[in-house]
Chain A
Amino acid sequence: MFADIKDATIEVWQHRELLEQLTRRDIKLRYKQAAMGLAWAVFMPCLIVLSGLIVRYAMAQISGATLKQSDIANIAVKGVGWAFFVGALGFATASLVGNSNLVTKIYFPREVLPLSSVGAQSFDTSIGLLTLIVVLPFLGVRLHPSLAWVPLLLLLLLLFTTGVSLFLSCANLFFRDVKYIVQVVLMFGIFFTPIFFEPSMLGPRGAQLAMLNPLTGILEGLRLTVVEGRSLLHPISVVVKGVERPVWEPLELVYSAVCAVAAVLGSAMMFRRLQHLFAEYV
């Protein structure tokens, strides 16, 4: 099993220049002959934040509370992360089938195709992140030592996304309906991932269920460290109407990390074992 992953790593490393070229190609193609240009990179996060605001506004209306600046910051931080996940999966799922002329004609480690989709999306997202750095101070976000968690959380997000991308690109090569399933799942996925809300709003039971989603730990971690300046080493809870509701458990981070690493290793192994069939089945 680890031999497969070792092979894949060595071969992808040998083809790192190809990976770079394909990533550049994907980035160029997104901005060539595109009316919106670089604005495209912040368009999707902006839409997510806007939809989140509408949801939160409605919630605030019902409960009689007011919408706080930090709510906007919360949604923005998690929205950028979600936009990365959705964007990368959307492109990566189609990456092998969309490059079938390459897959059937020229040999190179096929991992570079979904990886370059993730790479190109990382470029878009880094523009989103830069925008965030500019905007967040206006929303009352200050520098905290807890920001040191951010690189680890982003790495976990990248790993998890890469793992799922490898799996889906491969699955879509064999079964073309995977693409449509992914579309639908991603469309409604935003309601199963705490972007517009915090897990604690679902009540103790609901929060636990929401934490089964590996993205929850990563995105909530980002929110708590960036916006609230909290350390992830200790459990956090709030007391609402006399009931204690969990906000954060350090185990969540462990769970997300295990999921991310397992996703990458499992998918990479599956991808390796199946890739000799790609040219025949694509």
Chain B
Amino acid sequence: MSDTAVLVDSVWKKFRRGERHDSLRDLIPAAVGRLVRGPRPASELREGDFWALRDVSFEVKRGDALGIIGHNGAGKSTLLKILTKLLRPTLGSYVTHGRIGALIEVTAGFHQDLTGRENIFLNGAIIGMKRADIQRRFDAIVDFSGVGEFIDTPVKRYSSGMNARLGFSIAAHLEPEILIIDEVLSVGDFTFQGKCIRWMQDVLENGTTVIFVSHNMDAVLSLCNTAILLNQGAITASGELTNVVAEYYKSGGQWRPELLAEPMAATIDFSSSLGNQIVVNPGQRVEFTHTLTSSIESELTPGFFVRRGGKNVIESTYARMRGHPLHLRAGEVASIDWSLSFNVPAGVYEVGYHIRDIEGRYHDHQNGACIVTVGDDPRVKSESYIGMKLDERRDGELVLGPASQRTGRAP
């Protein structure tokens, strides 16, 4: 078995602007015209035609996560529609090895008059699940969606969030070999988004091949390992992830110089004391550990951020708290113990990290490495902050005592 999951070879797709003939009355003159002039070659553009995809070629290896990025109208969705067999390329060809599952408009198969239970079976069958599989995963689907006791209520009575969550949950249990995702990770509230991010990471760890379309560069950076950039239907950058993302920002006028490509000299490991999905009481401490190694002598700055609703609540780096970057000799192992106390209003917080060198170039960037759900406590309303402390160990020995930082925020 080859290690290629998807191979796209010089695909072109032609679309037509404006209206088509859609009644018999319009067809007859068009058909007569075609008879008189003879058929046209597929590669020829007539008036009103345009290329939605031009000479698109790429390969996705088994287990890879490919990000497809580009501005609106770049041809991302057209490409996905071709890969999911909804459209046929005008020219060129592609092959896929493995069962394809798509998370695109996850509620398309719902019928509003049917109950959640009926829709699970219907929608499951539509996206290609066997009845026995749906039955086996039924409880997991309901559980994941959080729809609970409303499962026997017609979905027309659901809120739009419940609708989307149920749709996502069904699709998430499809277990395909190649997973195609189009901007659906932004479904539901923040708790559910946390679940989705966890789920995505599980999927990637299980070796599923993923093709991911998104405008959210943070998500692309954290989930994908390779990317292509589409611009007006053509691939303008491909390969190394940060390179492609940088090109995207450049083409959109938002140049982020720190995203320059760099061979990963340093590696970082992340772990938390309580697992990666945590429920805490306000004020409770959570320990996170960064373990860093570098193949060459380097000056690095691991950083840490806590986000809520996509906005940073607190962000700090080693350099900011210590006043100097972390010096690593070649092969040395350093571990940084971060201790965070969440003295904040109830809610779901996403903890992420990154590692940069002194020139500001990213070596690693991870959103949603840990999801922290903070419980309710009325005392927090008067004083709200996240405290941050760090200890540093080299080869297991404590070398530097705590440095701390507090970030307050109005509740």
List the interface of chain A (C-beta within 8 A of B): 17-18, 20-22, 24-25, 28-29, 32-33, 101-102, 104-108, 174-178, 276-277, 279-281
Contacts and interface: CB of A to CB of B under 8 A. Distances in A.
A24 B125 CA distance: 12
A17 B121 CA distance: 10
A121 B86 CA distance: 28
A279 to B, nearest CB: 4
A108 B23 contact: no
A281 B27 CA distance: 14
A174 B87 contact: no
A33 B23 contact: no
A107 B130 contact: no
B128 A177 contact: no
Contact of A106 (B111, B126, B130, B131): B126
Nearest to A177: B23
Contact of A18 (B24, B85, B114, B125): B125
A108 B81 contact: no
13 contacts: A18-B128, A21-B122, A28-B113, A32-B113, A105-B104, A105-B108, A105-B109, A106-B104, A107-B84, A108-B128, A174-B22, A176-B22, A177-B23
Contacts of A174: 22
Interface in B330-378: none
B25 interface: yes
Nearest to A277: B88
Interface of B: 15, 20, 22-25, 27, 81, 84-88, 102, 104-105, 108-109, 111, 113-114, 118, 121-122, 125-128, 130-131
Contacts of A29: 111, 113-114
A101 B105 CA distance: 9
B126 A18 contact: yes
B22 A175 contact: yes
A17 B81 contact: no
B122 A279 contact: no
Nearest to B23: A177
Contact of A175 (B27, B81, B121, B122): B27
Contacts of B23: 175-177
B81 A279 contact: yes
Contacts of A22: 122, 125-126
A17 B22 contact: no
A102 to B, nearest CB: 6
A104 B130 contact: no
Contacts of B104: 105-106
Given A22-B122, A280-B87, 14 more contacts: A18-B128, A21-B122, A21-B131, A24-B122, A25-B114, A28-B114, A102-B126, A105-B108, A106-B84, A106-B108, A107-B102, A175-B22, A175-B23, A176-B23
Nearest to B171: A106
Contacts of A279: 81, 86-87
B20 A281 contact: yes
Contacts of B108: 101-102, 105-106
